[in-house]
Amino acid sequence: MRRITKLLAGAALGLATIPSVALAQDAPAAQESADEIVVTARKREERLQDVPIAITAVTAETLEREQINSVREIAAYTPGLNITTDAVGRAFMSIRGVGTTLIDSVQPGVGIFVDGIYQTNTSYLNNPVVDVARIEVLRGPQGTLFGNNTLGGAINVITRAPTDEFAGRFSASYADPDDYQTVAGSLSGPIIEGVLRGRIAAAYHAHDGFSTNTLAGGNARPLENQSVNGTLVWDAPQNAQITLNAYYNSVEGSQTAYSSPSGPTDYVDDVQLNLNSIATYEYWGVNGRGEFDVSDSTRMTAVLAYDRKDGQTSGDGDFGPFDVIRVLDGRNDRETFTGELRFDTTWNDRLSTLIGVFANYATSTDTVYRTIFGAPQPVVPSTQTLTSQAIFATAFYDLSETLELSAGVRFDRQEADVDGTAGEYSAEEFQPRVTLTQRWSDNHMSYASIARGFRGGGANTPGGPLAFYQGDSVWTYELGDKFTNDDRTLTLNTAIYYNDYQHYIGQNSLTPTLQAVNLNTGDVVSYGVEVEGIWSPNDMFQLTGGLTYNHARITDDSEFEAVFPGGLATDLILFQPDWNFYITPTVTIPIGADNIVFNTTVSYKGERAGSSLDPNFQPQLESYYLVNANLAYEHGDYTIALWGTNLTDEQYYDSYLDRSLLAAFFGDASPLTHNLGITGDGRRVGVRVSARF
């Protein structure tokens, strides 16, 4: 595989970069306008510019050109979305400062969906992106239609549907200095003409990373993933459609392979670990969707899904050269059953409704075989069971030809328990949403919305100071505007918002035995503004960009202090910057029937707080810029390109925890106590080839 990709590299000529992303733009297709993009943010197919929700849609062409291989990597190009990670099995994610999740035993505050099917934790963010048509990021609470755990928003990954005609795609990339490589392909077409069509796609990605284990040897933060998925669509009689999908993903990479910096401005790539900290996860699942006309005015959609995750980890538990703690075998197994039934009814020219029910059942078992100073520790499996049910309804009513009122509510019930913990956690919550939309013209609309979102709580492993923690919730007030000028050369979308957040689940803590304790912090307020736009004055030039100002602060940490006296050192939200932006100019030069396309993206993430358990000190991470670029030669359905990411070789921390984490176990004066950091990827320069047929 590596020889093949190096041959492709040697044969490639040219240079290419990341196209624009913010509003689902596909360069260089004569500057397709954002108002032509179709999304499913309200469980219906609608133009992006017609939906009264702040949405960014990232298309497949953008994912390929940006060398985006996992969902988490779209955060740099999505206003309000913040994702960091320290392991292939988890990610820290929030939208507008809402929904932060630090470990995958906590339910996500931003919901993750694949073709509308809910994924139960954040580990999916590190899974490979395979044969994706687009990724929709919905900002603000989406509980009314998408369910609980979407109080910050929702990420919906839409895969490509099988086609009526035979078609195929192939792409491959290679880059140095870390042997970065990707190969992907898909085939689609009819199996029985006019009745049954299918699609199959596969992808492989690997890289060595930029960190070496100088003690045990080898790459400290490598990544390898393999994916395959297949879809069958039966166009049944009576306008019915049945879709069956199956997938398999294998992901192997680093598991909290932290270095030992002297502080948050000491950028250390290499680690000194007694053994490489590596995790392997296998994901597989099957799902089915049926769409039927139950009357002339009502269409029913039924969804059933089964998903399974099997994880295995090993590594150095004290993150340093002294051989104190070893995780020899850590296991995490999760299986999830999901079902949803909804009815979309048009009552007349003015009124339509969407009504449905939802159920989810998930079990997760964790088992850790650990040694401390060479002594085996007791192995106590922990199994958590989570069940949730919901009923929801939304009505859409045209008050006039230009004014729409939509109002909906969802009732959720959730229960969680852990083996060995007395009692169980349960919650019953309402999630309403009201939106008023004024359409000034076919290309200009404004909206005002009020919505409540809720995330479920849960149980901690037995033996800690807190058996259960409650869910958190947010009320969001938002004003938005979506504008496209008459000649469709300019699209500008803006939103301002205010979030009133209660019982925030944020910074977790540790017991003296390094047992993680999830808990509520207290109250948070966040407010801000988002702007994203596309300017295409002619067929040769396009400018895309997005900017976010988000002021998110803890206003009350009394719930945290009640469990861990001393409270928090700062009112800042972990890893959440006040400012971020990106800008992408694209130049397309026609050469006969072919094109040369050059674009470059500059993205910025502002200062942010690192993690600390010290009630008197909070580390601050520096702001940074990333510069990516591509130059591509496009000949019909074939493309050859040279690309680069982080061209200035900027140094920054993707995750940082100060020495108070290890001090909780070893003591502040111990030589075993040190800071922990994971740096972002360095500069890569590579080649890419792709073809469609």
- Chain segment 493-545, per-residue pLDDT in tens: 999 999 999 999 988 887 776 677 889 999 999 999 999 999 999 999 999 99
Single pTM value for the model? 0.89
pLDDT tier at 64, thresholds 50, 70, 90: confident
Rg of the chain over CA atoms, in angstroms?
A: 25
Dihedrals φ, ψ of 7, to 5°? -65, -40
Residue 466 pLDDT more than 80? Answer: yes
* Cα–Cα nearest to 312, from 275, 273, 276, 282: 282
Residue 55 pLDDT more than 70? Answer: yes
Report the half-sphere exposure of 49 (CA within 13 A, side-chain side): 26
36 burial (CB, 10 Å; 0-12 / 13-18 / 19+) is middle
Dihedrals φ, ψ of 201, to 5°? -140, 150
Quick one: tokens of 30? 């004569």
Residue 16 pLDDT more than 80? Answer: no
Strands (DSSP E) contained in 456-540 are 458-459, 468-469, 472-484, 490-505, 509-510, 516-517, 520-535
* Cα–Cα nearest to 358, from 289, 426, 315, 411: 411
Alpha-carbon 284 to chain mean position: 18
pLDDT recorded at residue 102: 65
For 435-459, how does the pLDDT look when each residue is reduced to its tens digit (9 = 90+)?
999 999 999 999 999 999 999 888 8
Cβ neighbours, 10 Å, residue 616: 11
Task: Give the CA distances from residue 598 to residues 88, 274, 590, in Å, rounded to whole numbers and listed in that order.
Answer: 32, 45, 12
pLDDT recorded at residue 108: 85
For 215-272, how does the pLDDT look when each residue is reduced to its tens digit (9 = 90+)?
999 999 999 999 999 999 999 999 999 999 999 999 999 999 999 999 999 999 999 9
pLDDT tier at 14, thresholds 50, 70, 90: very low
pLDDT recorded at residue 62: 79
Task: Give the CA distances from residue 368 to residues 221, 283, 302, 382, 466, in Å, rounded to whole numbers and listed in that order.
Answer: 21, 20, 38, 9, 21
Report the half-sphere exposure of 386 (CA within 13 A, side-chain side): 25
pLDDT recorded at residue 15: 25
β-strand partners of 206: 181, 224
Q: How far apart are CA 575 and CA 535, in angstroms?
A: 31
Residue 276 pLDDT more than 60? Answer: yes
pLDDT recorded at residue 476: 97
Residue 296 pLDDT more than 80? Answer: yes
Close Cβ partners of 578 (under 8 Å, ≥ 6 residues apart) = 549, 550, 551, 552, 606, 607
Q: How far apart are CA 176 and CA 632, in angstroms?
A: 18
Section 119-131 average pLDDT: 75
Residues 327, 370: contact at Cβ < 8 Å? yes
Residue 82 pLDDT more than 50? Answer: yes
Q: How far apart are CA 323 and CA 574, in angstroms?
A: 30
pLDDT tier at 101, thresholds 50, 70, 90: low
* Cα–Cα nearest to 227, from 305, 148, 105, 130: 130
Residues 553, 573: contact at Cβ < 8 Å? yes
Quick one: tokens of 614? 């010290």
pLDDT recorded at residue 461: 76
For 329-342, how does the pLDDT look when each residue is reduced to its tens digit (9 = 90+)?
999 999 999 999 99
pLDDT tier at 13, thresholds 50, 70, 90: very low
Element (H, E) at 558: helix 558-563
What domains lie within the chain, and their CATH numbers? 2-692 (2.40.170.20)
Cβ neighbours, 10 Å, residue 313: 21
pLDDT recorded at residue 422: 67
- Helix, strand, coil percentages, rounded to 5, for the chain: 5, 60, 35
Q: Mean pLDDT for the chain?
A: 89
Close Cβ partners of 100 (under 8 Å, ≥ 6 residues apart) = 92, 93, 94, 109, 504, 505, 506, 573, 574, 575, 576
Element (H, E) at 62: helix 60-65
Residues 460, 424: contact at Cβ < 8 Å? no
Question: Is 512 strand, coil or helix?
Answer: coil
Strands (DSSP E) contained in 68-131 are 81-87, 90-95, 110-114, 117-119
Over the range 197-233, which residues count as b (16 or more CB within 10 Å of their CB) and which as e? bbbbbbbbbbbbbbbbbebbeebbbbbbbbbbbbbbb
Alpha-carbon 658 to chain mean position: 25
pLDDT recorded at residue 35: 52
Q: How far apart are CA 408 and CA 583, in angstroms?
A: 36
Strands (DSSP E) contained in 255-324 are 278-293, 298-316
pLDDT recorded at residue 8: 31
Cβ neighbours, 10 Å, residue 693: 11
